Amino acid sequence: MASPQLEMTDGDMYAATVDVRHDCPIGNLSRKLPNLRIVQWCVNNRDLFQVSGPKDQVQAFREWAEEGAGMRHVSSAPDGLLMITTVCRCGVSPEASIGETIRRAGAWDIPPIVYREGWESWRLLVFGDRSLRELFRDLRQRGELHIASLKPIENLSMEKMMLVPAADLFAGLTDRQSSALLLGMRHGYYATPSATNIDRLAQGVGLSASTFSEHMRKAEARILLNLRPHLEAYATRSPGEVAVEDVRAVAGRRRSRTVVSPET
């Protein structure tokens, strides 16, 4: 079915995140395995699934995928696995899929789709008030709909839409470092003003303050280093110019500290 013609005006564009729960194979399995996080990408006429959670639920997903859904195992990790389909599941009853409902409304989806407790989360770009209303109406006819976020876009910047894979963002982070960072966030360490301190956090997990602080600092440094190329992409000057100025500034400070006065 061809996408409907849309009457567009300046600023007539929205970014939305919606959660939908309806009758579908992956969603139904997600209800049965509520602690499992299922992430789905559609790539080159195939679907890639990244699954993480309790070992028994990960194993249950693998058995279901291999026996009933025709998926192939790609790799395993301590907390999950990767599976790939032989064909894209979008082609299975496309008229009944949420993806087709989105496309019929003339909207774009931004992958991946995330499943949790039977809900599937979609990030969307929707063009026009009419298209937005029709999309929400059609999704409600398909099942339960929760609108997690909705905001107009007046000046779309593709840089702001760029996707940073989690594998890149958290590369090099150890379990201890990520746990320390999460604990600090959950207890308000990064709030303004801070709701706790390093001593309390360290005491809660039975570590010394210095050890816990080291875990947090290494985690923060690692994430910032992984983000640096993306942060520099937002610079008003080119990343190369920013990097050169950084090096010159550091070198200049070092030289000023090492200059010996002739009178010494």
Q: Please return the burial class of 60, using the count of CB atoms within 10 Å of its CB with bins 0-12, 13-18 and 19+.
A: middle
Note whether 51 and 149 are same-domain residues: yes
Note whether 92 and 42 are same-domain residues: yes
Note whether 17 and 147 are same-domain residues: yes
Note whether 23 and 145 are same-domain residues: yes
Note whether 174 and 139 are same-domain residues: no
In a domain, 6, yes or no: no
Q: Please return the burial class of 65, using the count of CB atoms within 10 Å of its CB with bins 0-12, 13-18 and 19+.
A: buried
Residue 19 pLDDT > 70: yes
How do the residues of the chain divide into helix, strand and coil, expressed in percent and rounded to 5?
45, 25, 30
Model pLDDT for residues 106-129, shown as the tens digit of each residue: 898 988 899 999 999 998 989 888
Note whether 117 and 215 are same-domain residues: no
Q: Please return the burial class of 139, using the count of CB atoms within 10 Å of its CB with bins 0-12, 13-18 and 19+.
A: buried
In a domain, 7, yes or no: no
Higher pLDDT, 87 or 177: 177
Note whether 73 and 176 are same-domain residues: no
| Identity at 64, one-letter amino acid code | W
Residue 202 pLDDT > 90: yes
Q: How confident is the model at residue 163 (pLDDT cuts 50, 70, 90)?
A: low
Q: List residues bridging with 125 in a β-sheet.
A: 15, 108
CA 73 to chain centroid:
23
Note whether 136 and 233 are same-domain residues: no
pTM reported for the whole predicted model:
0.57
pLDDT at 31: 95
Note whether 65 and 137 are same-domain residues: yes
Per the structure, the count of domains in the chain is 2
Strands 80-85 and 108-116: unpaired
Note whether 138 and 194 are same-domain residues: no
End position of a domain, from candidates 157, 177, 192: 157
Note whether 211 and 252 are same-domain residues: yes
CA 178 to chain centroid:
16
Find the domain containing 72 and state its range.
Answer: 13-157
End position of a domain, from candidates 157, 186, 210: 157
pLDDT at 210: 95
Q: List residues bridging with 47 in a β-sheet.
A: 42
End position of a domain, from candidates 113, 136, 157: 157
Note whether 24 and 130 are same-domain residues: yes
By mean pLDDT, which of 3-17, 41-55, 135-149, 174-188 is the weakest?
3-17
Helix or strand (DSSP H, E) at 136? helix 129-142
pLDDT at 206: 94
In a domain, 32, yes or no: yes
Model pLDDT for residues 29-43, shown as the tens digit of each residue: 999 999 998 999 887
